[in-house]
Amino acid sequence: MTTDLTEITVVGGDKTGLIARVTSLLFERGINIEDLDQAVRDDIFRMTLHADTSEMVCKEKTLRDDLQDLGDELGVDVQVRFPADRETQQIAVLATKESHCLERLFQAWASGDLGADISVVIANHDDLEPLAEKYDVPFHDVGDEKGTPDEGEILELLSEYDADLIVLARYMRILSPDVVFRFEDRIINIHPSLLPAFPGAKAYRQALEEGVRIAGVTAHYVTTDLDQGPIITQRAFDVPDDADIATMKERGQPLEADALLEAVRLHLNGDVSVHRGRTKLREQSERYQLGLSREARDANPDRPVDGLGEIVAGSAENGD
């Protein structure tokens, strides 16, 4: 979806006529709907609209207020994001205890190489608070003594800090549809396996137990289906014969940080789009490493290819 469209998200209880009420309001204001997607999960309804508001017959504030009033009437939450809402996008990072991904994001931000501001770190433990303090970024611990997060507080913080993108930097909790539906294609997670292999918890251990020779990591958009969202970037590494969990983390964690940062950059620059559950680059560019490095690709053999062998080709030419 192009970045010059306005995104309207509706989340709440499923009600008859809801879609018609929203679309009629937009039509009356001269707004053309380019794309509409809806879903229901765990009794929560979500509708995401992308619309051309360049020729609408009202001001942005009026449209926002009208949609908010309609949402209040219907008992649903309505969010509106215009293309030029801000020049610098705001990132909310969700984390638990592992620091490597958060540290890599902070480094890129501090060097001016991120293209957005990290406005807040939200975690379900307080272990990473010193790291956030080092970079003078607000930190909020929303977990109880067992690390169970308060999702209501998470949503309040995401609204308070006006998050454009949510980055899960090894956040070891599953987000409910109430959160995911509000940020469609705007939540990026890093998972320590080459998805779709080894989804869920303890992915490195799963890979070891299955005896894989090559393991890896995957940055992907979050959906309501665990570890099944559209894949953005992947990285791979060899698994030695004597590998243990420590070895896997030592080899995998730098790649986790690298793949996550690259996925975030792709999203922020508007260089990646999602269509039918699959991501694609809007414009092919050598600066992005979605999978193997150039060195790894160059090391792969390019022959033989089925049907291109000299004997088979010669036989076909001779009519044998």
What tens-digit pLDDT sequence spans the chain (320 residues)?
A: 446 889 999 999 877 888 999 999 999 999 999 989 888 888 889 999 999 999 999 999 999 999 999 999 999 999 998 887 767 899 999 999 999 999 999 999 999 999 899 999 999 999 999 999 999 999 999 999 999 999 999 999 999 999 999 999 999 999 999 999 999 899 999 999 999 999 999 999 999 999 999 999 999 999 999 999 999 999 999 999 999 999 999 999 999 999 999 999 999 988 888 877 889 887 666 677 788 878 888 898 988 888 776 766 666 566 55
* Selected catalytic residue, list 227, 242, 271, 302: 227
The reported pTM is 0.85
Residue 176 CB contacts under 8 Å (≥ 6 apart), including other chains? 42, 151
Question: Closest by alpha carbon to 276, among 229, 227, 222?
Answer: 229
d(CA 270, CA 287): 14
Please say whether the beta carbons of 27 and 57 come within 8 A: no
Please say whether the beta carbons of 267 and 167 come within 8 A: no
d(CA 198, CA 210): 10
Q: What is the pLDDT of residue 75?
A: 92
Q: What is the pLDDT of residue 294?
A: 81
Question: Closest by alpha carbon to 182, among 200, 160, 159, 161?
Answer: 159
Q: Known catalytic residue: 227?
A: yes
Please say whether the beta carbons of 233 and 266 come within 8 A: yes
Q: What is the pLDDT of residue 84?
A: 76
Q: What is the pLDDT of residue 1?
A: 41
